Amino acid sequence: MNWVDDWALSLGTFLPAVGAAVLMFMPARSEKLVKAVGTLFAFLALVAGVVVLARFDFSNAGALQLQVNESWVPQINARYHIGIDGISLPLFVLSLLVSFLCTIYMWWHIPEPGKPKAFFALVLLLETGMTGCFVALDLILFFTFWELVLVPMYFMIGIWGGPRRAYAAVKFFLYTLFGSLFMLLGFLALYFTSDPRTFDMIELTRQGFGGSSELFQNLVFLGLFLGFAIKVPMWPFHTWLPDAHTEAPTVGSVLLAAIMLKMGTYGFIRISLPILPDAAITFAPAIGILAVIAIIYGALCCLAQTDLKRMIAFSSVGHMGFVMLGIATLTDIGINGAIFGMVAHGLITGMLFFLAGSIHERFHTRDIPALGGILQQMPKFGSLLVYSAIASLGLPGLAGFWGEMLALLGSYNPHPELNETLFRVLMVGGGIGTVLTAGYFMWMLQRVILGKVPDKFASGHGIFDVVRLEWYAWAPLLILIIAAGLYPKLVLGVTDGAVQTLLGALG
């Protein structure tokens, strides 16, 4: 099985890109064929993901497995080094799954101006970038995948987006580019101070930067922080997100929320914490404070939104706040909670964006006050919306609960070198956030699901309940939401070993 072990990760990462290349050379006229080929490649990548799951040694989840380490750019000692452990495995599989589901959803709907060939190619390219980020163990490789994500998303928003698409696309692009520049500077600084010079994350962790000056460590950490924090996005770097989410086509919003945002938080866990542990402890309180501001600010913004998609976008700011709070505690519980939160947010918010997109397709509006009585007109659709919304607000028994709970639990007893009082205050702040979250979701449901059907839609013209393709695209998410909620060990059992290894580096 050596061949499989060597290639499974690479295939999962690059099959979508191959698919995109194949699509480019296909005639655009045969739309069915284009869609079939696009879906096929996403499916093959998912199969590779399943193989990775099968070959992964769960009893040793703390160690990096299925590693490939080949020479790539010898001049700067950048290597093609990939591997997977308990932290990246859930995210890797999640990206493959969600991307595949997106390709299914795209059979039923691609927004104006159509052009399925280009749209599928971009989604597949995006998939390669995202999955690559989660397996890269070399900083240059990571950066390449990170930038690779930027371009397709820019075009997706800019071409297939809503009325303010150009503005949203450029804002998204500039924000992320700005952040990634500082990130690159941080990477280069690490490279040029390491001895022997290397971009390898594992090697850099082993070398450690405890010997270099505190100022250096803090500056590098800040550089990486800017790159990651903009992607997450953390308050106050979040302003690109509502615009990007609102204007992006449904599939774009789903991929953005479900996976791309995780690249930022994953970067913190994979790169910043182990390589610069001292600086991480220095900055943890600040990150915690920003995270709680994001939680409360996000919730308050949600209360003020009338656009359904924009509301979900702001709810992402809050949820990612919980993830960052979990990371900032630098504890086993907190970081496990953060990873759980990332997965849960991927499933739930991905689902919510699907639903928001489908609402727009049926009613041609996402304006919350204009909608109403969905449960009467489309009982199944309405139930799904209720299900996803209460999962998102953190009802016990569904996936959303554990991430928030563990993050709050972690901040009760933060890392011994952190200020306990501060983190307990942060815990209370986060707790208030959960209440507000429940509040805005219930209020949204009340306005959209319940009440009278507005006169405009009373005829029921063009309004239909969940169609079969939607079921196909959504069922896995719906099942995983409750599965992870009832049996959190599904995720935590995988992540815990790797988190222990990580914390070993923090001391």
Partner 1 sequence: MDLAQAIAQPSVDWHALSPDIVLAAAACMVLIADLFLPEESKWLAMPLSAAGILGTLAAVVSLAGEHRTTLGGAVEIDTFALVFKGLFCVIGLIVLAMSFGYFRSGRYYQGEYYFLMLCSLLGGVVISSARELVTLFIALELISIPAIIMTALRKADVKSNEAALKFFLFSVLSTAVMLYGMSLVYGITGSTKLDEIRSSIASSADEPLVVLSVIFVVIGFAFKISAVPFHFWAPDTYEGAPSPVAAFLSTASKIGGFVGLLVLMFRAFPEVADTWRPAFAVLATLTMTVGNLIALRQQHIIRLLAYSGIAQSGYVLVTLALIDPSRPEANAQALESAIVYLVIYGIMDLGAFAAAVAFARKTGTYFLSDYAGLWRRSPVLATLMAGFLLSLAGTPPMAGAWAKLFVFAAAINSEVYWLAAVMGVNAVIAAWYYLAVVKRMFLDSPEVDEPIEVPYLLRATMGVAAFALLAVFIYPAFITSLADRSLL
Given candidates 54, 63, 73, 286, which one binds partner 1 under the rule CB under 8 A? 73
Q: At what angle do helices 308-328 and 332-363 cross, to 10 degrees?
A: 170
Q: Is 75 in the site for partner 1 (CB under 8 A)?
A: yes
Q: Is 322 in the site for partner 1 (CB under 8 A)?
A: no
How far is residue 469 from each of residues 40, 95, 309, 463, measured CA to CA in Å? 16, 20, 21, 16
Site string for partner 1, 216-255 (x = CB under 8 A): ----------------------------------------
Given candidates 119, 172, 173, 297, which one binds partner 1 under the rule CB under 8 A? 173
Given candidates 18, 26, 33, 185, which one binds partner 1 under the rule CB under 8 A? 185
Stretch in the footprint of partner 1 (CB under 8 A) among 50-58, 143-151, 295-303, 383-391: 143-151
CB 177 within 8 A of CB 150: yes
Q: Is 112 in the site for partner 1 (CB under 8 A)?
A: no
How near is the Cβ of 356 to partner 1 at its closest, in Å? 23
Q: Is 29 in the site for partner 1 (CB under 8 A)?
A: no
Q: Please give the Cα distance from 247 to 158 (Å, whole number).
A: 9
Size of the site for partner 1 (CB under 8 A): 29
How near is the Cβ of 5 to partner 1 at its closest, in Å? 22
Supply 486's token pair.
């009832």
Q: Is 188 in the site for partner 1 (CB under 8 A)?
A: yes
Q: Is 159 in the site for partner 1 (CB under 8 A)?
A: yes
Supply 264's token pair.
């930022």
DSSP 372-439: --HHHH-HHHHHHHHHHHHHHTT-TTSTHHHHHHHHHHHHHS--TTS-HHHHHHHHHHHHHHHHHHHH
* CA nearest to 395, candidates 481, 332, 471: 481
Q: Please give the Cα distance from 249 to 242 (Å, whole number).
A: 13
- Closer to partner 1 by Cβ: residue 35 or 171: 171
- Closer to partner 1 by Cβ: residue 183 or 408: 183
DSSP 450-483: SSPPPGGGTT-TT-----HHHHHHHHHHHHHHHH
- Closer to partner 1 by Cβ: residue 197 or 456: 197
Q: Is 286 in the site for partner 1 (CB under 8 A)?
A: no
CA atoms within 13 A on the CB side of 23: 29
Handedness of CA 239, 240, 246, 252 (dihedral sign): negative
Given candidates 54, 63, 76, 428, which one binds partner 1 under the rule CB under 8 A? 76
CB 189 within 8 A of CB 220: yes
- Closer to partner 1 by Cβ: residue 76 or 475: 76
Residues in contact with partner 1 by CB under 8 A are: 24, 28, 71-76, 113, 115, 118, 143-144, 147-148, 151, 155, 158-159, 165-166, 169-170, 173, 177, 181, 185, 188, 192
